[in-house]
Structure 1
Amino acid sequence: MENKRIIQVDEKVPFKLLAPLSIQHMFAMFGASVLVPFMFGINPAVVLFMNGVGTLLFILITKGRAPAYLGSSFAFLAPAGVVISKWGYEYALGGFVVVGFLGCVLALIIYKFGSDWIDVVLPPAAMGPVVALIGLELAGTAASNAKLTEEVIDVRNVIVFLVTLLTAVLGSVLFRGFLSVIPILIAIIAGYVAALVCGIVDFSDVAAAPLFSIPNFSTPKFKWEAIVILIPVLLVITSEHIGHQIVTSKIVGRDLLKDPGLHRSLFADNFSSMLSGLIGSVPTTTYGENIGVMAMTKVYSVYVIGGAAVLSIICSFIGKMTTLINTIPGPVIGGISFLLYGMIGTSGIRILVESQVDYNKSRNMAMTSVIFVVGLSGITVQFGSIELTGMVLACVVGMLMGLMFYIFDRLNLTNDRDD
C-alpha cells in the first residue's frame, strides 16, 4: 500500500490491512445506502443486513471475479413511493420481488442472445434523460425532507440543512485522501452535530432500544397494479448495472462483461433485489461510491469487499446503533439529498456525454426532449387502477419511441440513419 501497489481482484489482503480497508468500503456506501430506507420510512437495520448478504451472494455467483459492493438502489424511489402511498410498503416489496425475478430472467436471455437489443429499446438518447429523471423528480422531496417547504420555516432547520449541504459540497471538492471517499458520511456527522447544538434531536428511543436486536424482517404482498408500476425500472437498473461493470472493467484492467460475464453479474444483482423484497428490504445495486474507492486506492480485492459486507451484517444486529441512525433529523437528510439527487440527475447527463449522442440527428433531439417533458410535466396516464407518471411513464415513452425509430430504420423511412 505504501508503494501504491495494485492489489488485484483475487488477491488476499493481510488482516492488518483488511480491517481498515473493509471499514472504508462500508463507510463509502453507508451515507447513501441508509438514505433509501429513510425515504421509505423503514428501519435501516434490515437494509444493512441485506446489503451485506447481497454483496456476499454477488461475490459467490460471480466466482469472486467481479469486485462490487451492493447498496440500496435509488432507481425505485419514485415509483415505489407511488405504490407505498396507494397500497403500503408490503406491496412495494412484492414489486421488488417480481422486478428482481424478471431481472434474473433477463440475465438468462442475455446469456443466450447477447445484450445488443437493449440499445434498441433504450438508446443513450433515451437512457440519459430517464436516468436523470430519477434524481430530478425527487427535488421536491429533498426540499420537503429539509423542512424548507413549510409555511413557517424554523431557523434551526435551515442552519442544520446548510451545515450538512455545505459540508457535503465542500468536502467533495476539498477533502483529500481517505476523507475524499466519505464526504457524505462526514456531512451527515456534521449535520447531526449541528442538530444536537440546535436541540432538535430526541434520544429517548435510543435509551429504550436494546443493545442487540434482530433486523425488522417483513414479508411482501402482491398486487398486479403495483407490479406494473415498478416493472419499467428494470431497464433503468439494467443499464446502470452495465455501465458500472464497464467502468469497473476499465479500473481493474479486466473485461468483466466477458469474465465472469454480464449474465452472471446481472443475475447476482437482481437475485439480491428479489431476496431483499422477500425479507422486507429495499432493492440493491452495484454502488458507484465503492467503485470510486477502488479507483482511488488501487485495491480491487473481493476479500476487502467481502469484509465490508460482513461488517454491514454485524451492524444490522446492534439495536442501539440502528435506532441512533433513526434519530438523524430531516434537515440532515434533506441537505444530503440536495447534492445526492442532483448527482443522480447529472449521471444521466453523463450518459449523454460519454455516449457522444449526436443532437444533429432529429431522432435524438426528439427523444430526449419528449422524455424530459413527459417526466417533469406531472402528466399521469391511467389504465384502470394502473397509474404511470414521472420517470416510469418517461421510460415507457422512451421505449416506445426507440422501438418506433428502429422499425422506421428497418423500413428505410428515416432521413437521419447511419449508412
Structure 2
Amino acid sequence: MENHTIIQVEDKVPFRLLIPLSIQHMFAMFGASVLVPFLFGINPAVVLFMNGLGTLLFILVTKGKAPAYLGSSFAFLAPAGIVIANWGYEYALGGFVAVGFVGCILAFIIYKVGYKWIDIVLPPAAMGPVVALIGLELSGSAASNAGLLDEVIDPRNAIVFFVTLGFAVFGSVLFRGFLSVIPILIAVIAGYVAAAITGILDFSAVMTAPIFALPNFSAPKFDLQAILIILPVILVITSEHIGHQVVTSKIVNRDLLKEPGLHRSLFGDNFSTMLSGLIGSVPTTTYGENIGVMAVTKVYSVQVIAGAAVFSIICSFIGKLSALIQTIPGPVIGGISFLLYGMIGTSGLRILVDSQVDYGKNRNQALTAVIFVTGLSGIKVNFGNVQLTGMVLACVTGMILSLVFYVFDKLKLTNDQ
C-alpha cells in the first residue's frame, strides 16, 4: 500500500484499513441510491438494508470474484411512477418481483448458450462508446446535484463543490501511502466541513430521528396490467448490467463475463431485485459510482465491498446514523460524482484503445459515431410506458447495427473484408 499497489479482487486488507475503505464505497453511491426511495415516497432505511443484503448475495452468487456494489436502480422510475399513481406502491413491488424473476430466467438462458454472442452484437467499436456513455450521460446529474445548473448559482454551493472536487482530483494524484487509496472519502469529509462552514447543512432530521428504528418492510401485490407496464425495463437493466461488467472487467484486468460468468452476475443482480420487491424495497443494480471508486483508488477487493454492504445494513437500523448520512449536501455528492462519472467515460475509451479498434474501417467509424450521437442527442423512444434514451437507446441501436454488419459480412457484401 505504501507504493499504492493494486489491491486485487481476492486480496484481504487489515481491519483498520477495511473500515475507511468500506465507508468510502458507501459514501460514493449514497446520494444517488437514497434519491430513488425519496422519489418513490418511501423510507430510505429499507433501501439501505436491501442494498447491503443484495450486495452480499451478489458476492455469494459470483463466488467473490466480481467486485460490485448494488444500489437503487433509476431505470424503474418512469414505469413504476405510473403504477404507483394508478394502483399504489404495493403493485409496483409486484412488478419489481416479476422483472427480477424474468431476469433470473434470462441468466439461466445465458448459462446455457454462453456469452460469446456479445462479441457479435457489441464488438469493441460499439462496446467502447456504450460504456463511455454510462458515465458521460450522468455528467449532467453531477452538475445538477452540485447546484451548478440553477438559474442563479448559490456561491456556497460552488465553494463546497470545488472543495470536494479539488480534494478528489488532486488527492488522487498527490496523496501517498494509505491516503492515496481513500481520496474519495477524504474529499467527502472535506466537502462536508466546507458545507458546515458555509452554513448549508441542516441537522433537523438528525435531531428528530430515533436512535434505533426497524426498516419499514412491506409486502407486494400483483396485477397483470401493472406487471406488463414495468416488465419491459428488463431490456434496460440487462444492457446496463452488461456494460457495467465490461467496464469493471477492464478496470480489474479480468474477464468477468467468463469468470465468474455473466450468468452468475446477472442472476445475482436480478435475484436481489426480486427479493427487494418481496420486502418493500426498490430494485437494485450494479453502480457506476462504485466502479469509478475502483478506477480511482485501484482497490478492487471484494472484502471491501462486503464491508460497505455490512455498514449499509447497520445504518438501516440506526435511525440517527442514517439521518446523519442523509445530511450530506448535494454539492458534495456532485463534486464526487463529477470525477467518478468521468472515470467511467475514460474506461470506455480504454476499451477502444486496448482492443486496437481500426478506424481505418468505415464500419467502426460509423458504429462508434452513431452510438455516441444517439446517446448524447437526447433522443427518446417510447415502447408503451417504457422510455429508451441515453446509453440504453445507444446500446440497442449499436446492437442492431452490429447485427446488420454481421449479416453483411456473412453475405460478403462489405467493402472492408
TM over 0.5: yes
Shift of 1:289: 6.0
Distance 1:333 1:53 in 2: 23
Shift of 1:261: 4.7
Shift of 1:365: 0.9
Match for residue 402 of structure 1?
A: 402
Distance 2:318 2:171 in 1: 29
Q: Could you give the per-residue CA deviations for residues 311-340 of structure 1, whole angstroms, max 9, x where no partner exists?
A: 332222111111111212222222222222
Distance 1:3 1:194 in 2: 30
Distance 2:258 2:80 in 1: 38
Determine helix, strand or coil for the equivalent of 1:31: helix
Question: In the comparison of the two structures, how many residue pairs are matched?
Answer: 402
Q: Which stretch of structure 1 is more off in the superposition, 367-376 or 43-52?
A: 43-52
Shift of 1:52: 2.6
Q: Paired residue for 2:24, among 8, 28, 33?
A: 28
Shift of 1:347: 2.3
1:116 equivalent in alignment to 2:120: no
1:244 equivalent in alignment to 2:244: no
Residue identity opposite 2:67 in structure 1: A
Match for residue 378 of structure 1?
A: 378
Shift of 1:86: 5.7
Q: Could you give the per-residue CA deviations for residues 47-78 of structure 1, whole angstroms, max 9, x where no partner exists?
A: 4322331233234334x4526352327xx54x
Contact 1:37 1:282 in 2 (8 A): no
1:334 equivalent in alignment to 2:334: yes
Match for residue 33 of structure 2?
A: 37
User: 1:205-216 alignment to 2 at 5 Å?
Assistant: 205-216=205-216
Distance 1:60 1:401 in 2: 36
Contact 1:34 1:44 in 2 (8 A): no
Residue identity opposite 2:138 in structure 1: L
Determine helix, strand or coil for the equivalent of 2:232: helix
Contact 1:129 1:348 in 2 (8 A): yes
Q: Which stretch of structure 1 is more off in the superposition, 114-123 or 33-42?
A: 33-42
Q: 1:162 to 1:130 in 2, by over 3 A?
A: same
Q: Which runs of 5+ in 1 are unaligned?
A: none
Distance 2:6 2:382 in 1: 53
Determine helix, strand or coil for the equivalent of 1:334: helix
1:348 equivalent in alignment to 2:344: no
Residue identity opposite 1:329 in structure 2: P
Shift of 1:386: 4.0
Distance 2:256 2:395 in 1: 27
Shift of 1:401: 0.7
Distance 2:162 2:2 in 1: 37
Shift of 1:146: 1.5
Contact 1:381 1:388 in 2 (8 A): yes
Distance 1:158 1:10 in 2: 40
Distance 1:176 1:95 in 2: 48
Distance 1:391 1:29 in 2: 24
Distance 1:380 1:265 in 2: 29
Shift of 1:207: 0.5
Determine helix, strand or coil for the equivalent of 2:286: strand
Q: 1:269 to 1:338 in 2, by over 3 A?
A: same
Q: 1:226 to 1:55 in 2, by over 3 A?
A: closer
Distance 2:401 2:105 in 1: 24
Q: Which stretch of structure 1 is more off in the superposition, 344-353 or 110-119?
A: 344-353
Distance 1:4 1:386 in 2: 44
Q: Which stretch of structure 1 is more off in the superposition, 98-107 or 108-117?
A: 98-107
Q: Which runs of 5+ in 2 are unaligned?
A: none
Residue identity opposite 2:228 in structure 1: W
Q: Paired residue for 2:237, among 233, 237, 249?
A: 233
Q: Could you give the per-residue CA deviations for residues 234-283 of structure 1, whole angstroms, max 9, x where no partner exists?
A: 12312422553576575xxxx87666555334422332233234431341
Q: Which stretch of structure 1 is more off in the superposition, 322-331 or 239-248?
A: 239-248
Distance 2:100 2:270 in 1: 5
Residue identity opposite 1:244 in structure 2: T
1:285 equivalent in alignment to 2:286: yes
Determine helix, strand or coil for the equivalent of 1:381: strand
Shift of 1:227: 3.5
Q: Which stretch of structure 1 is more off in the superposition, 314-323 or 237-246?
A: 237-246
User: 1:55-134 alignment to 2 at 5 Å?
Assistant: 55-62=55-62, 64=63, 66=65, 68-72=67-71, 76-77=73-74, 79-83=75-79, 90=89, 97-134=97-134
Distance 1:149 1:293 in 2: 26
Residue identity opposite 2:142 in structure 1: A
Distance 1:5 1:143 in 2: 32
Shift of 1:294: 9.7
Residue identity opposite 2:291 in structure 1: G
- TM-score (normalised: structure 1): 0.81
Contact 2:272 2:283 in 1 (8 A): no
Contact 1:138 1:341 in 2 (8 A): yes
Q: 1:193 to 1:217 in 2, by over 3 A?
A: farther
Determine helix, strand or coil for the equivalent of 1:231: helix
Percent identity between matched residues is 60
Residue identity opposite 1:345 in structure 2: G
Distance 2:158 2:308 in 1: 34
CA RMSD of aligned residues (A): 3.6
Contact 1:95 1:227 in 2 (8 A): yes
Contact 1:80 1:230 in 2 (8 A): no
Distance 1:198 1:310 in 2: 33
Determine helix, strand or coil for the equivalent of 2:375: helix
Determine helix, strand or coil for the equivalent of 1:147: coil
Match for residue 172 of structure 2?
A: 172
Contact 2:103 2:267 in 1 (8 A): yes
